[in-house]
Amino acid sequence: MAKKSKILVIGGTGYFGEFIVKASADASHPTFALVRVSTVSNPENLRASRALE
């Protein structure tokens, strides 16, 4: 089995970042999202991080 690339998404809770995080996680890549602290404190912005769980 081929080794999967590690993916870092800067702005993982943004408009495009949400889709990129989901696609990367769905492809079984180790996926990391970099987000602002203020973004994490707002539950509405956490949709993308749910894909990583």
1 domain-assigned: no
Q: What does the pLDDT look like over 10-50, one tens digit per residue?
A: 988 888 988 999 999 999 999 998 887 776 666 665 565 55
pLDDT at 14 (0 to 100): 84
Using pLDDT thresholds of 50, 70 and 90, give the confidence band for residue 6.
very high
Predicted TM-score (pTM) of the model is: 0.67
Residues 33, 2: Cα–Cα separation, whole Å: 23
Number of domains in the chain: 1
Q: Containing domain of residue 15, as a range?
A: 7-45
> Which pLDDT value is given to residue 15?
87
- Decide if 24 is inside a domain: yes
Instruction: Please give the radius of gyration of the chain, using alpha carbons only, rounded to the nearest integer.
Output: 11
The whole-number pLDDT of residue 41 equals 65
In a domain, 16, yes or no: yes
For the cut 60, the answer to whether the pLDDT of residue 52 exceeds it is no
Q: Is residue 19 part of a domain?
A: yes
